[in-house]
Amino acid sequence: MSWRLHGIGASPGRAFGPALRVEWDIVSVPHRTISPEEVDLEIERFQGARSWAKEQIWRLQAETSERIGPVEGKIFEAQAMMLDDPDLVGGTASYIRENFLPAERAFDWRLLELRSRFADTAHVMALDRLADLRDIRFRVLSRLLGLAEGSVLSSLPVGGCILLFDELTPSLAVGLGDKEVRGLLTATGSRASHSAVIARSLRIPCVVGIGPDLDEVQDRAPVILDGATGRVIVEPTETEKDTYRRSDVQTTARKRRLEELAHRVTLTRDGERVVLQANLDQPDDAAGALEVGAEGVGLFRSEFLVIGRRTIPSEDEQYEAYRQVAEAFPRHGVTLRTFDIGGDKFPIFLSMPMEENPYLGWRAIRVCLDLPDLFRNQLRAAVRAAAHGRVRILLPFIVASDEIRRTREILDEVSASLDVPPEEPLPLGIMIETPAALETVDLLAPHVDFLSLGTNDLTQYALAVDRGNARLVDLFDPLHPALFRMYGRLIEAAGTQGIDVGVCGDLAEDPIGVVALLALGYRRFSLAPPSHPEIKEVVLGVSASDLSGVMKGLANADQPSDIRGPFRRYLEETLPEVPELLARLSAV
């Protein structure tokens, strides 16, 4: 009989295969003491092992940059920086001198203290760093203990499997690139963890943050996972297996069918024009967006320039990244979101405070306005890149008009400082991702040129549900009646103010979600390139007027199923020729 696990979808895609638990670590470090005469030698051994580990990390960084990408390679800069941490280096040396411990024991004790410090906080960034610390521990102790080098991944079975990890470290994640791995399940981690970033780059479906329930999965047990929703089926029934297999068999033929739609104008059956743009995490994603026919970039996240970095990105480095994307979409344009740091995304070069509620703390526009030099650098680079295409600026986490006014002052200042100032100011928009912003659109809209609905954070803040908490996954529903009403009020308010509004949250990647938004009147969506073909097929196959009719019976909906149900039935009746879509709609 099948049973289910719930985690956090960290890398999209569905996978089916036998489970295989990967156990790895240095089990224990032998306890012994040293004589005072051996202290200097042990400190020298520790420094030698630390230097060797740094060399290995820099080698891995270079290989990762070449094989996967420079953004992924920068992840290992964080580990190299940890090995230079005065608390780690000085603390280890003190244990050797004062407690007469050998290098391996002193290092392990100090690292254990640091791990405990991180583990005692609920801060996502701190918890994600545990995997980096484990990587460092394994590398340094292996050297100090004289253990033979080898990979726990060298004996994976032929034919592919679903790998289970208590904690997946970046070094292990990088090593999966040339293995027959169908999917990943981890007990710990978040969507923003370094390992999850690598899994997405390798296109390996991944669900993280499952918790201790992952221990209940037996080796070789068949597993189906969905890396987009975070749903996992263990010991699936024959019916569930057949559903997955039919979907898998149809993928190749359907892929060809969807590729034919890529460059068709996106119109509903009754002629309503819809614009499908791309969400990009880094410049190299632009090629994939062009392949699926994206009409520009509705959300270009800029955090790749700062996360995992130990130095502030220069203006020129940012300019080159923004220019690359602007030149890729000269006709449709690019919407660049300013640094959305804080919450679960912290650059190493900033001394960010530990906060009880980081998602409600110093983040996004608050950080940028408090650090004007960092913000000025980014805005100046964006204005320079606009000379090569059409660039718009999007501000995250706005709750007051003063934040917009202060940004405009900086934007005007950097524009005027250029040798060739732009002829027109760059369009400036804001994310609508807090109830405060949504309820004051009439006050904010006069100060901006466009709006972008961020359904992910708005769902989190409106429902008081942490979107990274696997235990609350069933409560995190962007089609909750309260949110559905909010979306309706926003599109109405934007119309009254005469301002363009689009959607860039994950709801636009859900077939039911996108038709619900179409029914409300939304016509501009930005989504990850892999989701484009399916969503375009949905839009081409539905009628906006029909969807308006479906809306009429939803005024008194009091739970998400009351909203999802009618739109789902409409899709099933309207698009019966799309079996893979219907299989996805039928999945839990």
Q: Give the pLDDT mean for 473-484.
A: 90
- Of 533, 386, 538, 394, residue with least CA distance to 454: 394
Instruction: List the chain domain ranges.
Output: 3-24+152-236, 36-145, 266-543
pLDDT at residue number 125: 46
Res. 367: pLDDT tops 50? yes
Res. 587: pLDDT tops 80? no
Phi and psi, residue 544, nearest 5°: -60, -40
- Give the C-alpha separation, 104 to 108, whole Å: 6
- Give the C-alpha separation, 297 to 280, whole Å: 7
Distances, alpha carbon 120 to alpha carbons 33, 35, 165, 356, in Å: 30, 35, 21, 12
- Of 384, 345, 392, residue with least CA distance to 368: 345
pLDDT at residue number 582: 58
pLDDT tens sequence across 51-89: 999 999 999 889 888 888 776 787 787 788 888 888 889
117-126 burial by CB neighbour count: b if 16+ within 10 A, else e?
A: ebeeeebbbb
Distances, alpha carbon 563 to alpha carbons 106, 483, 505, 581, in Å: 59, 11, 18, 18
What percent of the chain lies above the pLDDT cut of 70? 87
pLDDT at residue number 23: 81
pLDDT at residue number 274: 98
Count other C-beta atoms under 10 Å from residue 316's C-beta.
Answer: 11
pLDDT at residue number 122: 43
Count of alpha carbons within 13 Å of 551, Cβ hemisphere only? 17
Q: Give the pLDDT mean for 339-351.
A: 71
Sign of CA dihedral 376, 381, 384, 390: negative
pLDDT at residue number 588: 36
Active site residue 6: no
pLDDT at residue number 121: 45
Q: What is the 3-state secondary structure (H, E, C) of 125-193?
A: HHHHHHHHHHHHHHHHHHHHHCCCCCCCCCCCCCCCEEEEECCCCHHHHHHHHHCCEEEEEECCCCCCC
What percent of the chain lies above the pLDDT cut of 90? 55
Res. 158: pLDDT tops 90? no
Write the DSSP symbol of residue 300.
E
pLDDT at residue number 213: 92
Q: Give the pLDDT mean for 449-469.
A: 89
CA angle 140-203-333, nearest 5°?
115
Q: In what order do the strands lie in the sheet with 231-234?
A: 3-6, 231-234, 222-226, 14-21, 161-165, 181-186, 206-208, 8-11
**Looking at the domain that runs over 3-24+152-236, which CATH code has it been given?**
3.50.30.10
pLDDT at residue number 578: 61
pLDDT tens sequence across 488-531: 999 999 999 999 999 998 899 999 999 999 999 999 999 988 78
Q: Which residue among the candidates 123, 194, 480, 532 is catalytic per the annotation?
A: 194
Could you tell me the two tokens for 313? 């990105």
Mutual angle of helices 560-574 and 579-586, in 10-degree steps = 160
Is domain 266-543 given the CATH code 3.40.50.2000 in the classification?
no
Which bin fits 308, alpha (ψ -120 to 50), beta or left (φ > 0)? left
pLDDT at residue number 579: 55
Active site residue 447: no
Confidence of residue 562 (pLDDT cuts 50, 70, 90): very high
The answer to whether 194 and 211 are in contact (CB under 8 A) is: no
Res. 476: pLDDT tops 90? no
pLDDT tens sequence across 246-284: 666 555 666 677 777 888 999 999 999 999 999 998 887
pTM: 0.71
- Choose which CATH entry (1.10.274.10, 3.40.640.10, 1.10.3720.10, 3.50.50.60) describes domain 36-145: 1.10.274.10
Across the chain, mean pLDDT equals: 87
Amino acid making up residue 289:
A
The answer to whether 317 and 282 are in contact (CB under 8 A) is: no
- Give the C-alpha separation, 244 to 290, whole Å: 29
Query: What is the DSSP secondary-structure string of 80-96?
Result: HHHTT-HHHHHHHHHHH
* Residues 6+ positions from 64 with CB-CB distance below 8 Å: 72, 73, 75, 76, 174, 198
CA angle 491-519-467, nearest 5°?
70
